[in-house]
Amino acid sequence: MFSGWNWVAHSLYLFLNICSLEVSGGLVQSCGHIIPESPVLALGSNFTALCILNESCLDFGNIYASQIIWKIKNRVVPKEQYREINRTVSSVTFNDTSALATPLTCNILADGQIEQNIYGITVTVGLPPEKPKNLSCIVHQLSKITYPMTCTWNPGRHTFLDTHFRLKYRWLQETFPDCIPKDVNNSCTIRDVQFFVNTKVWVEAANALGKAESDPLILDPIEIVKLLPPHNLSVNSGILPTVLKLSWENQISDTAMKLKFNIRYKIMGDTNWMQVPPEDTASTRTSFSVQGLRPYTEYVFSIRCMKEDGVGYWSDWSEEKTGVTTEDKPSKGPPIWRIIDVSHSPPSWTVHLMWKALKPFEANGVIFQYEVTVRAKSSLSSPPEKYSVNTTDLTLKIPNGTYEVTVVAHNRAGASPPSVLLIPASNSKAPVKNVRTLPKDGKLWVGWTAPDSYVLKYVIEWCLVSNSSDCIIEWQNEPGNVQGTYLKGDIKPFKCYLITVYPLYADGQGSGQSVKAYLRQDRIKPRLITFN
């Protein structure tokens, strides 16, 4: 038996003398090698490797091919896969390379049954490239003279190998240098293309296991251009309050390409865009008047362009620009209502007139004044009383009677149609019936049964019922053809409201019909009752 030191020395001696041979010049050569040296194999294919021992090493340690052990990543390959070809050559065969790992090593049991490595190789397993698919190209305009073409494709499955792609292009009899992708393997940009010339474009994929080519594209680069959007867009108001004029500059000359345009616009703050009918902008131009807009409204505009015949791509949308239409006369009069306090000595009324500010699309400008006219129906020969106010209410003290009240709103463009309210001596017309309420979706709905007579409109009046005598009236108008609506005010839960519905006719009004209602009620707390 060897001592510990003698065993190590003996092992080192066997390793140096069995697995290597010192030659002149101090170099050490292996006692064997594997062929092929660095194989690249198709996934799932068959593969055979040969370990060849050097004749010059055989006599040093009595080693032969029958002693060779094959390993994959330090795992012994089953001996059924070995074959001893002669005393210096052993082969190993793999019927499916899917499970083949690296390194693949050739080892041998030398004297003393010490296993030593003879040689090892790196095995690479992968797939040949697939045919690239979905090749498409687009020419981007970068300036008035710069038009690079970018082509993209589907490179196919992952090959597990270094796979190189080349974009090839030719026209007429001319051949150009291949375009080689820099960062990704599915896109490449050709810096300079020629318009009005049919160009052939295709992709070649190659790795150690083979090559594949895409189907070619035959195209004229002028047909796949994406232009720069029009720029220097400006928006100006015109004479009409429903028109804004757009002006812009195109970034390609009329002689080089005829264009068509899309113009989109929206009211400032809206999310939905509207679009000018495409047939109105289907020719080269540098200005357009957008019609049918709301008066005194701020709009946002953007524009894009493409080749007039529709071949190619739309440009990106231009920068957004805003413009405001001019004022127009208000489209309707303000909704009007009243509260009447009766005095019996002398018989008179204190009338609190109130009206609502017009919505922006009704006001069509800035309302700076309201003109209120009060005419007594019993004395048509008497001149009416006129008042000019800049608030939305007016209090009058008038004798008991029947009056016609009109309110007209004024902006810089003119006056609205008058809103008319009759103040009758009595509510002699038919009232509504069956007033009822229903809380729903956090709102309070009010319904009623309409009178048999034709109703011009309804006024729904409500106020918060409290311990004090003050009841701040809120109200809203509804068309005469409805029989229910949601209250539009700030209706709070756990509060009681007195709701009154009035029908208004062309020659008077019906008496108000009321109901009390809650949006939501508190639970009734039980009381403890004791008996003595």
| Per-residue pLDDT tens digits for 160-187 | 999 999 999 998 777 888 899 987 889 9
- Map tokens 């009211």 to a residue: 267
Residue 347 and residue 416 in one domain: yes
Considering the chain, what percentage of its residues have pLDDT values greater than 70? Answer: 89
Considering the chain, what percentage of its residues have pLDDT values greater than 90? Answer: 65
Tell me which residue range forms the domain holding 196.
133-224
Please report the pLDDT score of residue 17 as a whole number: 41
Please report the pLDDT score of residue 330 as a whole number: 97
- Range from 208-212, 338-342, 439-443 that averages highest in pLDDT: 208-212
Residue 208 and residue 258 in one domain: no
Per the domain annotation, does 382 fall within a domain? yes
Residue 274 and residue 296 in one domain: yes
Per the domain annotation, does 428 fall within a domain? no
d(CA 438, CA 461): 16
- With residue 477 as reference, give the H or E element that holds it: strand 474-479
**Structure tokens of 350?**
């204190």
pLDDT in tens, 492-525: 888 899 999 999 988 888 889 999 999 887 665 5
Residue 32 and residue 103 in one domain: yes
Among 192, 224, 256, the domain-final residue is 224
What average pLDDT does the segment 220-240 reach? 94
Please report the pLDDT score of residue 524 as a whole number: 54
Residue 15 and residue 116 in one domain: yes
Per the domain annotation, does 182 fall within a domain? yes
Residue 375 and residue 394 in one domain: yes
**Structure tokens of 96?**
């499916």
Residue 399 and residue 313 in one domain: no
Residue 310 and residue 407 in one domain: no
Q: What CATH number is associated with residue 387?
A: 2.60.40.10
Residue of 42 and 192 predicted with greater confidence:
42
Per the domain annotation, does 531 fall within a domain? no
What average pLDDT does the segment 20-42 reach? 68
Per the domain annotation, does 240 fall within a domain? yes
Residue 310 in this model has a pLDDT that exceeds 50: yes
Residue 147 in this model has a pLDDT that exceeds 50: yes
Please report the pLDDT score of residue 417 as a whole number: 96
Residue 216 and residue 282 in one domain: no
Q: Look at the chain and report how many structural domains it folds into.
A: 5
d(CA 297, CA 325): 6
d(CA 266, CA 277): 14
Find the range with the poorest average confidence among 2-6, 441-445, 514-518. 2-6
| pLDDT band, very low/low/confident/very high, at 133 (cuts 50, 70, 90) | very high
Please report the pLDDT score of residue 38 as a whole number: 87
Per the domain annotation, does 450 fall within a domain? yes
Q: Which residues of 37-63 are buried (b: 16+ CB within 10 A; e: fewer)?
A: eebebbbeeebebbbbbeeebbebbeb
Residue 119 and residue 143 in one domain: no
Q: In sequence order, which residues have a C-beta less than 8 Å from that of residue 35 and are 6 or more positions away?
A: 49, 50, 52
Please report the pLDDT score of residue 59 as a whole number: 66
Per the domain annotation, does 493 fall within a domain? yes
pLDDT in tens, 358-398: 999 999 999 999 999 999 887 766 789 999 999 999 999 98
pLDDT in tens, 32-66: 999 998 899 999 899 999 999 988 777 666 778 88
Residue 352 and residue 411 in one domain: yes
Cα 326 → chain centroid? 33
pTM here?
0.73
Among 324, 358, 386, the domain-final residue is 324
| pLDDT band, very low/low/confident/very high, at 31 (cuts 50, 70, 90) | confident
CA distances from 19 to 16, 117, 294 (A): 6, 8, 95
d(CA 264, CA 275): 4
Residue 425 in this model has a pLDDT that exceeds 60: yes
Residue 21 and residue 119 in one domain: yes
Find the range with the poorest average confidence among 11-15, 70-74, 162-166. 11-15
Please report the pLDDT score of residue 66 as a whole number: 87
Per the domain annotation, does 529 fall within a domain? no
d(CA 388, CA 409): 10
